[in-house]
């Protein structure tokens, strides 16, 4: 079902007119209200009045995550706090997280866009939709929650974790739709097998998966083991969260909500614009956000765009599934982690040497993060209890920085290969086809 045909199937020439009007408004709004944007535009000698056509977006400065982080907590807000009704945050590459704000209008738009994404995937009134993204500072649970309610389907706000409880609710309630990361869906299938529960006999028929890449093989496995149709949706907290783009019935790319977002794909190293069909880094400019406008935000996600009309009747451009990033960010159990965050924690711990290896693997369909750590002879004792206590202390510190439990393995001095830079110390053994 097309939730909002007026916009989702809009004539592209009219869409471009609308985008231009909104781009001009957003540029002026950001320039007037956010010191960072004013300074960055002045440094490039560009003013809001210079935006006369959509291509003029290229005259605007790029915005990188570091600018958002430097503005911690509210420095990039374009509205005073008394007009901000919600904040969320995402983890930053180092130190401070990125805090994003929403006005009442922004929440309304977000709800509309997640309703579109959920409807495109096939959610309808009458569906029972079980949410397995966390309800917390991250945007995972909240965004789709409201969109699903707007459609009139029934949301089950189960939240993250507690897989056995998820399975029991699914069975007892007759859940028809699961919203989660693709890896969590497979983990649930695995847990069901272990508990002797026949998940294939459940009423589940559809999955809305996002928050991390999903390989072709993984999608096929989900569809087979859970007996559902698996769909992909994409988003990022800085822009709003889920609701940026989602697949329709054709499964031929993710329709991007272009009436609210202006897209560019650029060469990641030169920043030069690429043509439709060429693969590069996605750059997003928000067109309607009030509290947290973004100009030319470098997402670091690699994709390509296809503007051809889709069989479903939507005219919105389709982006190819995101399979990799241009930076070293890892997504582990749906949590974004930069190797530099791990390094930051480790260097502050006495007895830890600056040699470590981050090993990411998938065990029984659950992402597993192991930190192999060289420690001083003093720590590497024969006293088992002391080593275990040390391991636990390191895992605790990592957990509070990353928001994720890791397994810490202590190794003898000199056993880890010497490499330069945090990114080189990562071994990602997950299926990356």
Rounded least distance, CB 120 to ligand DLL, Å: 13
Is residue 286 a contact residue for ligand DLL (CB under 6 A)? no
- Report the site for ligand DLL in 113-172 (rule: CB under 6 A): 133, 138-140
| The dihedral sign for the CA sequence 362, 365, 369, 374 | negative
Does position 230 interact with ligand DLL (CB under 6 A)? The reply is: no
Q: Which of 325, 362, 397, 430 contacts ligand DLL by CB under 6 A?
A: 325
Q: Are strands 241-247 and 305-306 parallel, antiparallel or unpaired?
A: unpaired
Q: Which of 48, 92, 101, 210 binds ligand DLL (CB under 6 A)?
A: 210
CB 121 to ligand DLL: min, Å: 11
Q: Annotate each residue in 83-102 with x if it binds ligand DLL (CB under 6 A) or - if it does not, as one string.
A: -------x------------
What residues from 295 to 324 belong to the interface with ligand DLL (CB under 6 A)? 299, 301, 322
| Residue 111 in contact with ligand DLL, rule: CB under 6 A | no
In whole angstroms, what is the distance from residue 305 CA to residue 320 CA?
6
CA distance 210 to 215: 12
Q: CB-wise, 256 or 346, nearer to ligand DLL? A: 256
User: Measured from the CB of residue 179, what is the shortest distance to ligand DLL in angstroms?
Assistant: 8
With CB under 6 A as the contact rule, the residue among 65, 106, 112, 212 that binds ligand DLL is 212
User: Given the complex with ligand DLL, which of 33 and 86 has the nearer CB atom?
Assistant: 86
The reply on whether position 290 binds ligand DLL by CB under 6 A is: no
* Options 48, 97, 122, 213; binder of ligand DLL; rule CB under 6 A: 213
d(CA 390, CA 396): 10
Q: Which stretch binds ligand DLL (CB under 6 A): 60-68, 191-199, 234-242, 268-276?
A: 234-242
**Whose Cβ is closer to ligand DLL: residue 338's or residue 390's?**
338
Q: Is the peptide bond before 73 cis (omega within 30 degrees of 0)?
A: yes
User: For ligand DLL, which residue has the nearest CB?
Assistant: 210
Rounded Cα distance, 206 and 120, in Å: 12
359-398 residues in contact with ligand DLL (CB under 6 A) are: none
If binding is defined by CB under 6 A, does position 330 make contact with ligand DLL? no
As a whole number of angstroms, the distance between CA 309 and CA 315 comes to: 5
Q: Which residues bind ligand DLL (CB under 6 A)?
A: 90, 133, 138-140, 210-213, 232-237, 241-242, 299, 301, 322, 325, 331, 336
């Amino acid at each position: 079902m097309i939730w909002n045909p007026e916009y989702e199937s809009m004539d592209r020439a009219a869409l471009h007119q609308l985008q231009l009007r909104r781009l001009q408004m957003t540029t002026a709004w950001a320039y007037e209200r956010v010191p960072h944007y004013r300074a960055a535009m002045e440094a490039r000698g560009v003013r809001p009045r210079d935006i006369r056509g959509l291509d003029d977006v290229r005259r605007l400065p790029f915005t990188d995550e570091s600018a958002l982080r430097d503005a911690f907590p509210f420095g990039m807000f374009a509205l005073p706090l008394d007009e901000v009704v919600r904040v969320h945050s995402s983890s930053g590459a180092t130190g401070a997280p990125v805090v994003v704000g929403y006005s009442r209008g922004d929440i309304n738009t977000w709800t509309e866009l997640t309703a579109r994404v959920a409807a495109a995937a096939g959610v309808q009134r009458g569906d029972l939709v079980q949410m397995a993204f966390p309800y917390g500072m991250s945007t995972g649970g909240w965004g789709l929650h409201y969109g699903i309610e707007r459609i009139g389907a029934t949301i089950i706000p189960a939240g993250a974790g507690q897989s056995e409880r998820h399975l029991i609710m699914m069975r007892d309630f007759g859940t028809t739709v699961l919203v989660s990361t693709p890896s969590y869906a497979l983990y649930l299938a695995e847990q069901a097998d272990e508990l002797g529960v026949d998940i294939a006999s459940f009423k589940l028929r559809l999955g809305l998966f996002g928050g991390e890449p999903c390989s072709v093989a993984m999608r096929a496995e989900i569809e087979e083991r859970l007996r559902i149709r698996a769909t992909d949706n994409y988003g990022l907290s800085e822009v709003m969260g889920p609701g940026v783009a989602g697949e329709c019935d054709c499964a031929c790319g993710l329709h991007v909500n272009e009436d609210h977002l202006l897209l560019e794909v650029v060469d990641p190293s030169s920043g030069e614009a690429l043509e439709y069909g060429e693969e590069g880094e996605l750059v997003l400019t928000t067109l309607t956000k009030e509290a947290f406008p973004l100009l030319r935000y470098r997402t670091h996600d690699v994709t390509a765009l296809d503007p051809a009309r889709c069989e479903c009747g939507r005219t919105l451009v389709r982006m190819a599934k995101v399979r990799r990033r241009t930076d070293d960010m890892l997504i582990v159990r749906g949590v974004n982690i930069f190797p530099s965050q791990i390094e930051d924690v480790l260097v502050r711990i006495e007895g830890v040497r600056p040699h470590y290896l981050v090993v990411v693997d998938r065990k029984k369909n659950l992402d597993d993060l192991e930190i192999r750590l060289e420690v001083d002879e003093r720590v590497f004792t024969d006293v088992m209890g002391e080593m275990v206590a040390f391991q636990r202390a390191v895992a605790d510190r990592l957990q509070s920085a990353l928001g994720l439990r890791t397994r810490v393995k202590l190794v003898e001095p000199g056993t880890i290969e010497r490499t330069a830079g945090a990114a080189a110390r990562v071994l990602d053994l997950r299926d990356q086809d």
